[in-house]
Amino acid sequence: MNETVNTESLENIEETDDACHPMFRDVPASVEFNKLRKRLLRHARQALDEFAMVRPGDKWLVALSGGKDSYGLLAILLDLKWRGLLPVELLVCNLDQGQPNFPKHVLPDYLATLGVPHRIEYQDTYSVVTEKLPDSATYCSLCSRLRRGHLYRIAREEGCNALVLGHHREDILETFFMNLFHGGRLAAMPPKLVNDEGDVLVLRPLAYCAEADLAKFANAMAFPIIPCDLCGSQEGLQRGAMKAMLADIEARMPGRKDTMIRALAHVRPSHLLDTRLFDFAGLSVG
């Protein structure tokens, strides 16, 4: 992560006053929370700037699942927008996928209380997943693909230029190692991409934000968290193994996760083995 990025556009983050978005009116007044909030804002703004995510006047569809990461994403975007640092229109969307015992009232009630524009969409993808997969299988991968397809559709219907997701630093690193160990390729989770149809951008402003920071932030903000295990499925064993491996590395060598993220931004094709990226055949002496 490049901490030397131009911070001129971040000056307002260091200001403290009573004006704030309604989501922040009852937050802790502690120094620790203020530092955490500013750190998350700084990292999000860094990703927005470095990957050129913001085009003034665009409209973003912000996916809200009800988990800590998507709540954190929404809070950070609203905070930046309130400070005049995010000149885009935000529309929050929750996709109710028909999981048993899903508390349908939680998100619309919370968003309405805050006055946040939102759309709640019901699509029973849960039944589709359970019909196609055996009981012993994990649902997450297929469920995610179905959800993404509906979110693209909703983005088009609402005139949104981008779909904004709450994936964070650990999500990116876990994906990288899953591809390395199981996919036989060097690839991670890009902070910015265009969907296959070429009409919707996918943005991940939390690319530099640590999952532990988002967990502390969610606890301090008292978000009405909806667990992601409502369907009874378990997190994929491969991703869980990557998460445990990274946690062990970080415990043994603190700061390694930040180093790994920096490494993903400093690729040297000449020091890898891909002949499509570097002309090894053309190398000669003299």
- Tens of pLDDT, residue by residue over 176-230, are 999 999 999 999 999 999 999 999 999 999 999 999 999 999 999 999 998 876 5
Domain assignment present for 174: yes
d(CA 268, CA 88) in angstroms, rounded, equals: 35
Domain assignment present for 9: no
Pick the residue with more confidence: 15 or 115? Answer: 115
Domain assignment present for 141: yes
Domain assignment present for 259: yes
Confidence of residue 233 (pLDDT cuts 50, 70, 90): low
Domain assignment present for 17: no
Q: What is the CATH number of the domain that holds 142?
A: 3.40.50.620
Once rounded to an integer, what is the mean pLDDT over residues 246-268?
96
Is pLDDT of 5 > 50? no
d(CA 79, CA 73) in angstroms, rounded, equals: 10
Confidence of residue 240 (pLDDT cuts 50, 70, 90): confident
E strands of the chain, at which residues? 59-63, 89-96, 118-122, 162-164, 192-194, 201-203
Q: Tokens 């120094």 sit at which residue? A: 31
E strands of 105-179, at which residues? 118-122, 162-164
Domain assignment present for 84: yes
Domain assignment present for 21: no
Based on the structure, what is the number of domains in the chain? 1
Pick the residue with more confidence: 239 or 46? Answer: 46
Once rounded to an integer, what is the mean pLDDT over residues 143-157?
86
Which residue range(s) make up the domain with 258?
A: 28-266
Q: What pLDDT is attached to residue 102? A: 81
Domain assignment present for 23: no
Mean pLDDT (the chain) is 87
- Enter the tokens of residue 138: 């994990």
Confidence of residue 6 (pLDDT cuts 50, 70, 90): very low
Is pLDDT of 132 > 70? no
Pick the residue with more confidence: 127 or 184? Answer: 184
- Enter the tokens of residue 71: 């709540």
d(CA 40, CA 75) in angstroms, rounded, equals: 10
Is pLDDT of 243 > 90? yes
Across the beta sheet with 162-164, what order do the strands follow?
118-122, 89-96, 59-63, 162-164, 201-203, 192-194
d(CA 157, CA 197) in angstroms, rounded, equals: 15
Is pLDDT of 162 > 90? yes
